[in-house]
Amino acid sequence: MTLILGLEGTAWNLSAALVSEERVIHEAESTYKPLYGGIHPREAAQHHASELKNVVTQALRGAKKEGFSLNDIDAVAFSQGPGMGPCIRTVATAARALSISLKTPLIGVNHCIAHIEIGRWQCGTKDPVVLYVSGANSQVLAYRSGRYRILGETLDIGIGNALDKFARYLGLSHPGGPKIEELASKGTEYVYMPYVVKGMDLSFSGLTTSAKDAINHHKTEDVCYSLQETAFAMLTEVAERAMAHLWKDEMLLAGGVGANRRLQQMLQTMCHDRGAKFFVPENKYLKDNGTMIAYLGLLMFNSGETTPIEKSVVKPNYRPDEVEVTWRDKSK
Ligand code: ATP
Ligand code: FE2
């Protein structure tokens, strides 16, 4: 059995977890909540620095209660990127220190791929088209010949960011996504919004601007409803086209925005209509979590991949298609 300690802290959530092949042994977390406005990278990093000891200690104590000791840990995995520079640097420094003191290898993992692999593990889906929607990212991906290929993505901001920005404009606190969802559920009238799909790519920033304008003439609930309907229809269209072109009959939702019930419903309907299966993990595995980092670390460790300290520099713009996937298609 392999035991991996994973650290996540690319943005708002600091989390540490211990994972084996069989199960999640323990996860601990501490969330940064901005006093006002959005996530301030330096403040979030400061939060992570002051909470790291606490969160890691809690995770290790949890594992101890389950009968594991420090000596059982085979490697320390951390989010090498993408993410906010100050945040990922802080967590990477802690990961390096832990790997040195535990005398175990270090494994730098790609945060986006961790979102995908935890979903595949938890839902038992083999080869899905993935819709990865979070604060900073919105991508449609699928695995092919040793890499997760990005088939389509946002050309400007992530969908979560678009929702958070509009929520902030309404005076709602971060994160805004769940609050917009709540308001949208009470909307009844569709207000026109720009639907921007270019080939397989998407754009959301104009949508936020348009929602801000619409608020002067329409009910808040109706604007939230229209914002969601438009953005989620765009995502569903691109996700469906990817499935059609690749002849795939499984769809996996990943990332924090995946918690949205209306988005889940639209994707479910689309999949049902084309005879495909739709998979979505529990909310705790959609948002940023240490378990997904430990789990991808475990897959990489078991296929012989570790990261020497000199190659552990963080990558704020790390793209999932830069990673050679060595843990799938063992036969090749
Ligand atoms: P990444 O680095 O992968 O971009 P992230 O730092 O944005 O991740 P996540 O936890 O994956 O973190 O996603 C957070 C986003 O999810 C926020 O923008 C938040 O508003 C959004 N979100 C959370 N719940 C909901 C919901 N129910 N509806 C819509 N958006 C939601
Ligand atoms: Fe994330």
For residue range 89-110, what is the model confidence (pLDDT) as tens digits? Answer: 999 999 999 999 999 999 999 9
| Shortest-distance atom of ligand 1 to CA 175 | 20
If one residue of 161, 235, 287 were mutated to test the ligand 1 pocket, choosing by the most ligand atoms within 8 A of its CB, it would be 287
Ligand 1: which atom is nearest the Cα of residue 161?
18
Average pLDDT over the chain, rounded to an integer:
97
Tokens in use for 164? Answer: 């958070």
pTM score of the predicted model: 0.97
Looking at ligand 1, which atom is closest to the CA of residue 132? 3
102-136 burial, b at 16+ Cβ within 10 Å, e below that, comes to: bebbbbbbbbbbbbbbbbbbbbebeebbbbbbbbb
8 A C-beta contact, residue 103 and residue 75: no
CB of 119 closer than 6 angstroms to any ligand 1 atom: no
Query: What pLDDT does 307 receive?
Result: 98
183-240 residue pLDDT tens: 999 999 999 999 999 999 999 999 999 999 999 999 999 999 999 999 999 999 999 9
Q: Do the domains at 4-115+287-322 and 127-284 have one common CATH topology?
A: yes
| CA of 14, nearest ligand number | 1
If you measure from the C-alpha of residue 135 to the centroid of ligand 2, how many angstroms do you get, rounded to a whole number? 7
CB-CB contact of 50 with 323 (8 Å)? no
Mean pLDDT of 110-133: 98
Pairwise CA distance, residues 96 & 7, whole Å: 11
Kindly state if the Cβ of 281 falls inside 6 Å of ligand 1.
no
pLDDT in tens, 52-61: 999 999 999 9
User: With pLDDT > 70 as the criterion, what percentage of the chain qualifies?
Assistant: 99
Fold adopted by 127-284: Nucleotidyltransferase; domain 5 (3.30.420)
Dist CA 290 CA 17 (whole Å): 5
Could you tell which of 12, 40, 150, 163 is best to mutate to test the pocket of ligand 1, judged by most ligand atoms within 8 Å of the CB? 163
pLDDT at residue 203, as a whole number: 98
Distance 255 CA to ligand 2 centre (A): 6
Mean pLDDT to the nearest integer, 61-72: 97
From 15, 32, 134, 318, the mutation candidate for ligand 1 (largest count of ligand atoms within 8 A of CB) is 134
**8 A C-beta contact, residue 52 and residue 91:** yes
Ligand 1: atom nearest CA of 228 is 29
Please indicate whether residue 163, judged by its CB atom, sits closer than 6 Å to ligand 1. Answer: yes
Residues 6 or more apart whose CB falls under 8 angstroms from that of 58 comprise 16, 26, 28
What is the CA(287)–ligand 1 centre distance, in A? 6
Residue 181 CB–ligand 1 contact under 6 Å: yes
Assign 331 a pLDDT band (cuts: 50, 70, 90): low
Cα 156 from Cα 55, distance rounded (Å) = 34
Q: Return the domain boundaries, the chain.
A: 4-115+287-322, 127-284
Q: Identify the CATH assignment for 4-115+287-322 out of 3.30.479.10, 3.40.190.10, 3.30.420.40, 3.40.50.1820.
A: 3.30.420.40
DSSP 284-327: GGTS--HHHHHHHHHHHHHTT----GGG----TT--GGGS---S
Q: Which atom of ligand 1 is nearest to the CA of 158?
A: 4
| For the CA of 12, the nearest atom of ligand 1 | 6
- Ligand 1 near 104 CB (within 6 A): no
pLDDT given at position 36: 84
Protein residue with its CA nearest to atom 11 in ligand 1:
256
Tokens representing residue 326 in the block: 């060595």
Mean pLDDT of all residues in 75-99: 98
What mean pLDDT do residues 17-41 have?
94
Tell how far the Cα of 141 is from the centroid of ligand 2, in angstroms.
15
